[in-house]
Structure 1
Amino acid sequence: MSEVKLSASLRTEFGKGAARRVRRDHRVPGVLYGHGTDPVHLTLPGHELLLALRTPNVLLSLDIDGKNELAIPKAVQRDPLKGFLEHVDLLLVKRGEKVTVEIPVTAEGELAPGGYLLEHVLNALPVEAEATHIPEGVTVSVAGLEAGASILAKDIALPSGVTLAVDEDAVVLQVLAAQAEEPAAETEGEGEAAAEA
């Protein structure tokens, strides 16, 4: 997993007006916390942060007024209509430290013929990994699976050094039989025929 270097600056003004001014300058307000330290209020470069956050659980190397800190995103607030970043919460981490994160689960392969549906019970898998070696995600093969089949957390191969942070019998993916709907016209016709009799 690669580190993304960002230059952050300390934020001294707070409130909605101050946050709007920060965003007008194409920067994003944020807070850095963890390890029992006081929260540090920051502003981060908007475009660079947006690109970095395209990678799930990205490791950020922050240069805060000459001091270097490692952090991972914990919560990201976006504008619901325009999608731009409004605020970011960052968790302070240290090299070698284990952290609990959720990694995306991707299914690959074709289900058995028969119109089955694949349900993602867990879209993301909670795992514990070293902060500097968080996997970007896991891929699971669903080739040939039929209705009733399910993939449990313990069935997913994880990279070395990564462990599950969820019950190993938790269902991650399951295959469902597609349910055919009865045509509405037939049901109405049957009701009329019964009424006439």
Structure 2
Amino acid sequence: MAIPALKAERRTLSGTKNNRSLRAQGKVPAVLYGKGKENVNIALDTGAVNKLMHDAEHVVELELDGTRSHALLRAAQRDYLGDNIEHLDLTRVDLNDEVRVNLPLRWVGTPKGSNQGGVLEVIRAGIALSCKASNIPKYIETDVSA
């Protein structure tokens, strides 16, 4: 599995007004933290971030100030309609680090009772998983056929 790459720009200004201006320029404000290093405020291209979110990738390769490092997407804040990404939290990782992530469950097959008018009632839509950062699946597939 290829790890997607994102170019990050260091940003020195923060705050609501500056972040709005950044979004108007087609950038998403983000913060990179972890591994005992200083927190870094960065800006990412909105189009690249939207593709990343659509493809449900967890680990990215960030290029910042000419150096490349891996980061794990920890949180994404969206606007009140849920359409636009307002801010991202990324944490530094090594690909051999064990990380804990929440993954969606994908249901496949037809439950036995559905031919008799039954309905599959989904109680849990996701599950927490610990694995190496290099081996994070996009989802967990669950067969519900009898």
Q: Which residue of 1 aligns with 2:32?
A: 32
The one-letter amino acid paired with 2:107 is: A
How far residue 4 of structure 1 moved from its aligned partner, in angstroms, is 0.7
Where in structure 1 are there 5+ consecutive unaligned residues? Answer: 145-197
2:84 equivalent to 1:64? no
Higher relative contact order (CA 8 A, sep 6+): 2
Which residue identity lines up with residue 132 of structure 2 in the other structure? E
Aligned AA for 1:40? V
Structure 2's unaligned 5+ residue stretches are none
Contact 1:57/1:72 (<8 A) preserved: no
Alignment deviations for residues 45-70 of structure 1 (CA, whole Å, 9 cap, x no partner): 11011101123342110000101111
1:88 alignment partner in structure 2: 88
Give, in angstroms, the shift of residue 82 of structure 1.
Answer: 6.2
1:114 pairs with 106, 109, 116, which one? 116
Verify the 8 A CA contact 1:56 1:103 in the aligned structure 2.
Answer: no
The alignment's TM-score, normalised by the length of structure 1, stands at: 0.69
The AA in structure 1 aligned to 2:111 is L
- Deviation by residue 1:112-160 (Cα, 9 ceiling, x = unmatched): 232222222221111111111111112111113xxxxxxxxxxxxxxxx
3-state secondary structure, aligned to 1:132:
helix
Q: Percent identity?
A: 29
Shift of the 139–82 alpha-carbon distance from structure 1 to 2, 3 Å rule, reads closer
1:84 and 1:136 map into 2 onto residues whose CA distance is 21
TM norm structure 2: 0.92
Decide whether aligned partners of structure 1 residues 141 and 106 sit closer, same or farther in structure 2, where only a CA change above 3 A counts.
same
Partner Cα separation in structure 1 for residue 2 and residue 59 of structure 2:
7
Indicate the RMSD between aligned Cα atoms, in angstroms: 1.4
Q: Equivalent residue for 2:138?
A: 136
Q: Higher Cα Rg: structure 1 or 2?
A: 1
